[in-house]
Structure 1
């Protein structure tokens, strides 16, 4: 199978590329720069120079392949809503390239959309009135599915971890370093699910290979880690105090990240494991919150 992967040089995308190649598939990997193209080429994949702003180019890449895995996303949170709306356009464009082919389109969403403070499953859907702009991603996936595209949604947890992570946990560490303490909000009992990037990559592969009837999957190895525990481990790793803050004090500490720091989105992957046989085997988040990886 030849698979078009957007974000092929990214943290998750590069792991997917490696997983697909090891399973004997061919990969056409979207990259934005010559250096990224070189890295993708060295991995054994074919680089496809372009970017997610060029929708026509994306469609041409998708049309050349037997499946599409979309992981590219602009993580500039100063323009988060704009990025989410553009992701809607990207998914629509990829979908239009696949209409009538039955080729799978696997898009990437986030467990954080289901910030319900309870254990959520693959059957749960984001609230249509959600204040989280990221809902645009799943709305677009459902829209192209209704147009006959064989669409799948993979929801990633707030922390997809491993060496090289530049997501939420490294950001928490940077805030703690800057402010001189590691902080949780209130009692810190809001839970974050987690997964190792290599385990997540396996799930994407299983979906394109099996193309099952189920359309939504959770890349969740750990259902929910209390945020207080994450903050405490970070404090220990940096040899800093840990503290609870609320209201304006929490706002002053976290800034725009307060929404994510207070997020409670424990999630099950029971259906995912049963349907495609996904079995996470790599290190847990706390296994990796050690010197040499995150510190």
Structure 2
């Protein structure tokens, strides 16, 4: 198949491109700049010029492809809600171009949008509108209602691997360096699910190849939930900094913009996904990755 990939030069997107190519697929990658276009060419990817901020520019690429994987998102946290609204518009525009076809449309979401006590499963759906990223899945459902073959891949808070520059782990490392210690909240028993980037990329390929049934949710989860305290302790150890608990009242002062994410307490299952797609994550776990040099390169 020829697969149109948005976010093709990104951390997860670039790994997904390689996985699709290894599976015998051709990739049409979205590029906004000449720099991105050159990266795609060097990876053997056909370039399509367009811009997520102008969803109408994507229509021709959708028509050229046999499937669409939407991994792109504009990470402007100063305008986060606006970017989530825009993502919904992108999804609806792509969906309109796919209407009347059976082409798979794989959309990226986050497990963190599900507010639930207990284990989050693929059968859970977001409620309310307190979290702006919910707009992505609402748009997916709207498109699915038109008969388009939509599937949503929910990723956990941590997708880890070499090359992770702006994810949750680099953010925690940066905060620890700036504050002089690695922190966790209260007793640090809140949980973060995780997946290795290569396992996530394999899931996107399988979703393209095996997906059936519009509106399906898949979970890219390898580890159901890792104690935040253990992550903080590993970061402190690797940086040679103390690790300590902070009171709930001090969380906003310490973590600032990262406070919402630091408070995440999520357990998530991928049992249904593994059964449906025969997806079995087998890469290194997060704490073992942190113990090595991927996030703490030796000079």
Band the TM-score falls in, shorter-chain normalisation: over 0.9
Displacement of 1:247 in angstroms is: 3.4
**Partner residue in 2 for 1:16:** 16
**Partner residue in 2 for 1:126:** 126
The 3-state SS of whatever aligns with 2:119 is: coil
The 3-state SS of whatever aligns with 1:192 is: strand
CA distance, structure 2, for counterparts of residue 265 and residue 115 of structure 1: 8
Q: Does residue 189 in structure 1 map to residue 185 in structure 2?
A: no
Query: 1:32-71, aligned counterparts within 5 Å?
Result: 32-71=32-71
CA distance, structure 1, for counterparts of residue 117 and residue 162 of structure 2: 29
**Partner residue in 1 for 2:157:** 158
**Partner residue in 2 for 1:228:** 229
Q: Does residue 94 in structure 1 map to residue 102 in structure 2?
A: no
Query: 1:100-119, aligned counterparts within 5 Å?
Result: 100-119=100-119
> Which deviates further from its counterpart, 255-264 or 211-220?
211-220
The 3-state SS of whatever aligns with 1:237 is: helix
CA distance, structure 1, for counterparts of residue 9 and residue 89 of structure 2: 21
Could you tell me the TM-score, scaled by structure 1's length?
0.97
Query: 1:220-259, aligned counterparts within 5 Å?
Result: 220-259=221-260
> Which deviates further from its counterpart, 211-220 or 275-284?
211-220
Can you give the 5+ residue segments of structure 1 that lack an aligned partner in the other structure? Answer: none
CA contact (8 A) 2:203 2:279 kept: yes
**Partner residue in 2 for 1:172:** 172
CA distance, structure 1, for counterparts of residue 122 and residue 294 of structure 2: 31
CA contact (8 A) 2:11 2:163 kept: yes
Could you tell me the TM-score, scaled by structure 2's length?
0.96
Q: Deviations over 1:23-65 (max 9, x none)?
A: 1101000022212111111111111122201212111111110
Q: 1:123 to 1:19 in 2, by over 3 A?
A: same
CA contact (8 A) 1:115 1:263 kept: no
CA contact (8 A) 2:183 2:246 kept: yes
CA contact (8 A) 1:192 1:264 kept: yes
**Partner residue in 2 for 1:201:** 201
CA distance, structure 2, for counterparts of residue 190 and residue 14 of structure 1: 31
CA distance, structure 2, for counterparts of residue 14 and residue 49 of structure 1: 17
Q: Deviations over 1:185-206 (max 9, x none)?
A: 1221111110011100111111
CA distance, structure 2, for counterparts of residue 28 and residue 250 of structure 1: 43
Q: Deviations over 1:159-211 (max 9, x none)?
A: 00001112111001000000011111122111111001110011111111112
Aligned length: 294
**Partner residue in 2 for 1:145:** 144
CA-atom RMSD in angstroms: 1.2
**Partner residue in 2 for 1:264:** 265
**Partner residue in 1 for 2:288:** 287
CA contact (8 A) 1:272 1:278 kept: yes
CA contact (8 A) 2:149 2:212 kept: no
Displacement of 1:291 in angstroms is: 4.9
The 3-state SS of whatever aligns with 1:289 is: helix
Displacement of 1:280 in angstroms is: 0.7
CA distance, structure 2, for counterparts of residue 288 and residue 34 of structure 1: 33
CA contact (8 A) 2:185 2:245 kept: yes
CA distance, structure 1, for counterparts of residue 103 and residue 240 of structure 2: 51
**Partner residue in 2 for 1:135:** 134
